[in-house]
Structures are given as structure tokens and as C-alpha cells.
Chain A
């Protein structure tokens, strides 16, 4: 079993829709959670990060972590065609290694 599981999609939505992207993780030691966006043949871009449980909002993006169910979510409001990309969730332990464990990524397509 992978430590971070993510539905690969693709997920296709119309412009303006609310998008929900989800991951589950198995390692209780994970304390830090991040979401990255990756366009084709580009490096991942950090979108959001959270520590432990709770919500964090930044513009159209909301990241949510539920440690009791080991569930990580990213919500995108008013989705735009420019949001079409692969979204990767990542987690890491509270240790000095800084190693990130990535999900497989979800491909999102926002149709005009």
C-alpha cells in the first residue's frame, strides 16, 4: 500500500465549477501536508500547505486536512481553464529529513 493515495483522474469539469481533489494517507506520523500544481513538462508549483488538521484558504483555493480520517482535500472555487493541470498532494513527517511523500497526482481538465 502506498503511503499517500490519490485518484489519478482525469477529472473533467466545466468552467466555474467547484473542484474537489482528495488524497488519503496511511502514516500517522505525517504532520505537514502540501498541494502542488504541475503543468505538463514543468516543475511542480507549491499551492498550499497546512500543518496538522484544519482548513486553510488562499483566494480560490482551500486546503483541508482531517487527521482522524487521514484525509487531505483541495477545493478550487470558480475553476478556470488555466487551472487545468495535474495536482499532487504531498505529506511529510516532523523530522529533519524534509522528505516529501507524493500521491500519484490527479489530472484536472477545466472545459471552457
Chain B
């Protein structure tokens, strides 16, 4: 299957700082990517749809100014958590669709805000 990578895999930051997470499609082009967050023992919660060349579409309840998404190219989307707080600590995962059935996920990024 297609490969999606994320960097970093784990990041610890101090409260009030910003953190950038990268999502890359390694062997295919992705005009659309999705960002999810997942709390322990819970399912994935879709945060936003990242669109190459246009603004991201955010799900209801997700703060656009806090979670900045930039789809810089057909293989790269970034999520920046601005002014992070401990409640932003979570597992962030990106995905990219390949055709109507297949959607591949990255390995996830664990964010810990102290």
C-alpha cells in the first residue's frame, strides 16, 4: 500500500509554545489530507481536511487559529499547534486517500505539552 510518514513521532513542548507536525505522502501525490487527533482508548476524531492550494476545512468545534494547517505541496501537509496547552496533549494522525476505497494513515505524532 501507499506510504504516509509523519515527523516528529514524539514531541514534548512547554506550555505557550508552538509545535509543527509534518505529514508526507512518500510514493503518491495527495491533493487532500486529513488530520485527526486521538485520546487514549478513544477513536479518531477528524479535525480538518487539508487541501493543496486552498484553505483547510475545519470540523465543527476545532479552533482554526489554534490548529493551523498548510498544504504546501502535493506531498506535504503541516499542522501547527499554536500556543499549546496541556489539554492539547494527544496523538495526532494524518491520512491521505488513494482512490475511493483506500485511505492510508501516518504512524502518528505524540504531543506532550508540559
Using a CB–CB cutoff of 8 Å, the interface residues on chain A facing chain B are 32, 34, 36, 41-46, 49, 51, 88, 94, 97-100, 102-105, 107
Pair B108/A42 contact, Cβ less than 8 Å: yes
Task: Give every chain A residue within 8 A of B4 (Cβ-Cβ).
Answer: 43
Partner of A43, one of B43, B46, B93: B93
Report the minimal beta-carbon distance from B76 to chain A, rounded to whole angstroms.
17
Could you give 10 example pairs across A and B, Cβ below 8 Å?
A: A32-B100, A32-B101, A41-B108, A43-B93, A43-B106, A88-B44, A97-B49, A98-B97, A99-B34, A100-B46
In this complex, what residue of B is CB-closest to A88? B43
Say if the beta carbon of B64 comes within 8 Å of chain A: no
Report the minimal beta-carbon distance from B13 to chain A, rounded to whole angstroms.
18
Pair B104/A46 contact, Cβ less than 8 Å: yes
Task: Give every chain B residue within 8 A of A100 (Cβ-Cβ).
Answer: 34, 46, 95, 103
Say if the beta carbon of B1 comes within 8 Å of chain A: yes
Pair B42/A99 contact, Cβ less than 8 Å: no
What number of A-B contacts does a CB cutoff of 8 Å give? 56
- The tally of residues in B whose CB lies under 8 Å from a CB in A reads 25
Pair B101/A51 contact, Cβ less than 8 Å: yes
Using a CB–CB cutoff of 8 Å, the interface residues on chain B facing chain A are 1, 4, 6, 32, 34, 41-44, 46, 49, 91, 93, 95, 97, 100-108, 110
Pair B104/A105 contact, Cβ less than 8 Å: no
Report the minimal beta-carbon distance from A36 to chain B, rounded to whole angstroms.
8
A32 to B107 CA separation, bound complex (whole angstroms): 23
Task: Give every chain A residue within 8 A of B49 (Cβ-Cβ).
Answer: 97, 99
Pair B107/A43 contact, Cβ less than 8 Å: yes
